[in-house]
Amino acid sequence: MHAPGDVRVEDRDEPTIVEATDAVVRVTAACICGSDLWPYRGVVPLHGPTPMGHEYVGVVEQVGDAVREIRVGDHVVGSFVASDNTCEICRAGYQSRCVEHVMMTTIGTQAERTRVPLADGTLVRLPGEPDADLLPALLAASDVLGTGWFAADAAHAGPGRTVAVVGDGAVGLSAVLAARHLGAERVVVSSRHPDRQALARELGATDVLAERGDAFVARVKELTGGYGAHGVVEAVGTEESMWQAIGSARPGGHVGYVGVTHGVTLDGLRLFMSGVHLHGGPAPVRRYLPELVDLVWQRAIDPGKVFDLTLPLEKAAEGYRAMDERRATKVLLTP
Ligand SMILES: [Zn+2]
């Protein structure tokens, strides 16, 4: 990305092993993330031409001397954060905040090849070469599904519970799938977009509400005997969506927030009086990846449905335009 709205597909230097713990992966599927739209729209500043992308499925082509588990030829998926998976933070399940973490977006995976740091900790080996029709679902596991799963987990989705989801992007829709899979009885999602409303229902939403803000909060309370939801997923990242999420949760309820926040300054006293649990941040997708890969491989879940446009890598700019104009929810890029 050269500037807001200016995406170009260009030749860069071939990735190589920089650290002995690196791998070089040939990317078989990559995609555009909702968070890539922040710099595209000029909300997050760019400092010159920037490689893009942090989601990937691929095949290992090279490994550094210190890589022990991952081998050349392995089919792999990794999260959007590289992590050693051995430090205390990782072992506690918070790999996205690993003491050694590297954000994959600083390297860029919307490419034919990419360097993956901390390969043994970061990459999850697939059971074999995936069937082509499984690629979208495996790619979803790399970020949006894992993020939705963490959010649903943080919202304590489970049997007998009502979970509200604020946000109908790929993460919000993945959270719907996750909440239902985790046993939530009722999943209420906020959406005005007809295609996304239909997909939300297909993924397990029981109630789709067009209301936003306080009107949404009021409807969630109506649906829950005046109490509010047991758990809420926040998957947008604005001040309004944060309050929509916090307000929708009952006192003592759990809010899992995974929308990257922009301009959010929560009022302390209002937050204090809400009495909710808040837990979120960059999702530790690596914690969930082995289980998610397994579910996808068994075809028990199909999170690949969040991709509604597939383009060759060289048409990446068109993919950004389609997502920016909301003509596509999520765009898959093939090499
Ligand atoms: Zn770590």
Identify the bridge partners of residue 125 per DSSP, sorted by sequence position. 76
Q: What is the pLDDT of residue 209?
A: 98
Residues 111, 198, single domain; the answer is no
Q: DSSP secondary structure string, 314-334?
A: GGHHHHHHHHHTTS-S-EEEE
CA atoms in the 13 A half-sphere facing the CB of 148: 30
CA of 95 from ligand 1 middle (Å) equals 6
Cα 179 from Cα 309, distance rounded (Å)? 25
Cα dihedral 199→147→28→321 (10° resolution): 60
CA of 86 from ligand 1 middle (Å) equals 5
CA of 93 from ligand 1 middle (Å) equals 9
Residues 178, 206, single domain; the answer is yes
Q: How many CB atoms lie within 10 A of CB 269?
A: 7
Q: Domain containing 272: what range?
A: 146-280
CA of 79 from ligand 1 middle (Å) equals 13
DSSP code for 42: T
Cα 9 from Cα 315, distance rounded (Å)? 8
Report how far Cα 85 is from the mean position of its chain's Cα atoms.
19
- Tracing tokens 């939300």 back to the chain, one arrives at 200
The candidate with the shortest Cα–Cα distance to 306, out of 328, 321, 288, is 328
Residues 134, 119, single domain; the answer is yes
Report the CATH number at residue 73: 3.90.180.10
Q: What is the pLDDT of residue 142?
A: 95
Cα dihedral 86→91→94→98 (10° resolution): -20
Residues 39, 162, single domain; the answer is no
CA of 319 from ligand 1 middle (Å) equals 33
Point out the domain boundary residue: 280, 300, 315: 280
CA of 333 from ligand 1 middle (Å) equals 29
Residues 312, 262, single domain; the answer is no
Residues 195, 222, single domain; the answer is yes
- pTM of the full structure: 0.95
Report how far Cα 238 is from the mean position of its chain's Cα atoms.
17
Is 288 domain-assigned? yes
Point out the domain boundary residue: 238, 258, 280: 280
CA atoms in the 13 A half-sphere facing the CB of 23: 30
Is 163 domain-assigned? yes
Residues 244, 211, single domain; the answer is yes
Cα 216 from Cα 111, distance rounded (Å)? 40
Is 2 domain-assigned? no
CA of 39 from ligand 1 middle (Å) equals 28
Residues 208, 116, single domain; the answer is no
Is 1 domain-assigned? no
Residues 196-214: pLDDT tens digits?
999 999 999 999 999 999 9
Point out the domain boundary residue: 235, 254, 280: 280
Report the CATH number at residue 227: 3.40.50.720
- Count how many domains the chain has: 2
The candidate with the shortest Cα–Cα distance to 219, out of 206, 231, 232, 229, is 229
Q: What is the pLDDT of residue 35?
A: 87
Is 17 domain-assigned? no
Q: CA of 25: how far to CAs of 46, 83, 97, 133, in Å?
A: 26, 16, 23, 20
CA of 151 from ligand 1 middle (Å) equals 20
CA of 202 from ligand 1 middle (Å) equals 36
Residues 262-302: pLDDT tens digits?
999 999 999 999 999 999 999 999 999 999 999 999 999 99
Cα 226 from Cα 78, distance rounded (Å)? 42
Is 43 domain-assigned? yes
Strand intervals (E) in 133-206: 162-166, 186-190
- In which element (H, E) is residue 123 found? strand 123-125
Residues 184, 263, single domain; the answer is yes
Cα 9 from Cα 7, distance rounded (Å)? 7
Residues 130, 247, single domain; the answer is no
Residues 238, 312, single domain; the answer is no
Backbone angles phi and psi of 265, in degrees to 5: -130, 90
Q: CA of 281: how far to CAs of 94, 140, 147, 278, 301, in Å?
A: 10, 18, 10, 10, 25
Residues 133, 183, single domain; the answer is no
Q: Which residues of the chain have pLDDT under 70?
A: none
CA atoms in the 13 A half-sphere facing the CB of 129: 3
Q: Which amino acid is at 20?
A: A
Is 241 domain-assigned? yes
CA of 92 from ligand 1 middle (Å) equals 9
The candidate with the shortest Cα–Cα distance to 57, out of 180, 169, 121, 141, is 141
Is 12 domain-assigned? no
Cα 309 from Cα 171, distance rounded (Å)? 16
CA of 285 from ligand 1 middle (Å) equals 13
